[in-house]
Amino acid sequence: MTSEIVHVPSKWRAKHPHGAHLNGFLEYRTLYEESIRSPDTFWAKQARELLSFTQDFHTTRIGSFQNGDNAWFLGGQLNASFCCVDRHAIQDPDRVAIIYEPDDPQDGSQSITYAELLRHVSRLAGCLRARGVRKGDIVTIYMPMIPEAVFALLACARIGAVHSVVFAGFSAGALQDRIVDAKSKVVITTDEGRRGGKVIHTKSVVDDAVKDCSCVSTILTFRQTGGDVPWTVGRDLWWDEEVKKYPAYISPEPMQSEDPLFLLYTSGSTGKPKGVLHSTAGYLLGAAVTGKYVFDIHQKDRFFCSGDIGWITGHTYTVYAPLVLGCTTIIFEGTPAYPSFKRYWEVVAKCAATHFYTAPTALRLLKSKIKKEEIECFDMRQLRILGSVGEPIAPEIWKWFHNFFGSNQTTLTDTYWQTETGSHVVASLAGVTPMKPGCASLPCLGIDLAIIDPVSGEELTGNLVVGVLAIKQPWPSMARTIKDNHDRYMDTYFNIYKGYYFTGDGAYRDHDGYVWIRGRVDDVINVSGHRISTSEIESALLEHPAVAETAIIGVPDNLTGEAINAVVSLKERENPIDIKDELILHIRRTIAPFAAPKAVFIVTDLPKTRSGKIVRRILRKALIGEREFGDISTVRELSIYWDFFRILTSI
Instruction: Name the residues that contact ligand WTA, by CB under 6 A.
Output: 266, 311-313, 389-392, 414-419, 440, 503-505, 517, 519-520, 526, 531
- Closer residue to ligand WTA, CB minimum distance, 428 or 550: 428
Fill in the DSSP letter of residue 11: H
Q: Count of residues for the chain?
A: 651
CB of 519 to ligand WTA, least distance (A): 6
Q: Where are the beta strands (DSSP E) in 224-367?
A: 236-238, 255-256, 260-266, 274-279, 302-305, 328-332, 355-358
Please state, in angstroms and rounded to a whole number, the distance separating the CA atoms of residues 571 and 173.
25
Cβ 221 to ligand WTA shortest distance, Å: 28
Of 392 and 431, which has the nearer Cβ to ligand WTA? 392
Q: Tell me the three state secondary structure of residue 311.
A: coil
Query: In this structure, how many other beta carbons lie within 10 angstroms of the beta carbon of residue 377?
Result: 9
For the CB of residue 312, give the shortest distance to ligand WTA in the complex, in Å.
5
CB of 313 to ligand WTA, least distance (A): 5
- How near is the Cβ of 38 to ligand WTA at its closest, in Å? 28
> CB under 8 Å to 597, separation ≥6 — which residues?
537, 552, 564, 565, 566, 583, 584, 587
CB of 424 to ligand WTA, least distance (A): 9
β pairing state of 515-520 and 501-509: antiparallel
Q: Is 171 helix (H, G, I), strand (E, B) or coil?
A: coil
Shortest CB 367 distance to ligand WTA, Å: 17
200 bridge partner residues:
193
**Closer residue to ligand WTA in complex, CB, 291/607:** 291
User: CA angle, 223 as apex, 319 and 86 as ends, to 5°?
Assistant: 35
Compare residues 262 and 417 and give the one whose CB is closer to ligand WTA: 417
Closer residue to ligand WTA, CB minimum distance, 325 or 517: 517
User: In angstroms, what is the minimal distance from the CB of 458 to ligand WTA?
Assistant: 22
Contact at 8 Å (CB) between 43 and 72? yes
Q: Is 475 left (phi over 0), alpha (psi -120 to 50) or beta?
A: beta
Of 219 and 442, which CB lies nearer to ligand WTA in the complex structure? 442
Decide: 258 and 281 in contact? Cβ < 8 Å. Answer: yes
Residue 418 Cβ vs ligand WTA, minimum distance, rounded to whole Å:
4
Q: If we measure between CA atoms, which residue out of 148, 113, 88, 65 comes closest to residue 479?
A: 65
**Helix residue ranges per DSSP H, 385-508:** 395-404, 486-489
In angstroms, give the least distance from the CB of 303 to ligand WTA.
16
Provide the minimum distance between the beta carbon of 586 and ligand WTA in the complex, in angstroms, as a whole number. Answer: 24
Beta bridge partners of 555: 563
Residue nearer to ligand WTA on the CB measure, 57 or 293 = 293
Secondary structure of residue 222 in the 3-state scheme:
strand
- Beta partners for residue 237, in sequence order: 220
Closest CA to 258 of 489, 6, 71: 71
Q: Which is nearer to ligand WTA, 414 or 538 (CB)?
A: 414
Q: How far apart are CA 357 and CA 306, in angstroms?
A: 6
Cβ nearer to ligand WTA, comparing 519 with 576:
519
Find the shortest distance in angstroms from Cβ 520 to ligand WTA.
5
Minimal CB distance residue for ligand WTA: 419
Closer to ligand WTA at the Cβ: 254 or 454? 454
| C-alpha–C-alpha distance, residues 307 and 332, integer Å | 9
CA atoms of 38 and 587, how far apart (whole Å): 49
The answer to whether 60 and 40 have CB atoms below 8 angstroms apart is yes
Nearest to residue 445, comparing CAs of 318, 561, 296?
A: 296
Q: Which is nearer to ligand WTA, 483 or 520 (CB)?
A: 520
Q: Which is nearer to ligand WTA, 113 or 410 (CB)?
A: 410
| Helix/strand/coil percentages in the chain, nearest 5 | 35, 25, 45
Query: What's 105's DSSP letter?
Result: G
